[in-house]
Amino acid sequence: MAQSVEDQRWGGDRSTQYWKRSLRLQIVLLVIWFVVPYVFGILLAEPLHDVNFFDFPLSFWIAQNGAIFLFVALIFIFANRMDHLDHEYDVHEEDLSAAVRDRLAKKAAKRTGGAS
Q: What is the pLDDT of residues 29-55, one digit of tens each?
A: 999 999 988 888 788 888 888 888 888
**Cβ neighbours for 5, distance < 8 A, ≥ 6 positions apart:** 99, 100, 102, 103
Helices (H) and strands (E) in the chain, counts: 5, 2
What's the pTM? Answer: 0.65
Q: Where are the domains of the chain?
A: 11-115
Q: Which of 98, 97, 43, 36 is nearest to 67 (CA)?
A: 36
Say whether 79 sits in a helix, a strand or coil: helix
Q: pLDDT tens digits for 13-28?
A: 888 899 999 999 999 9
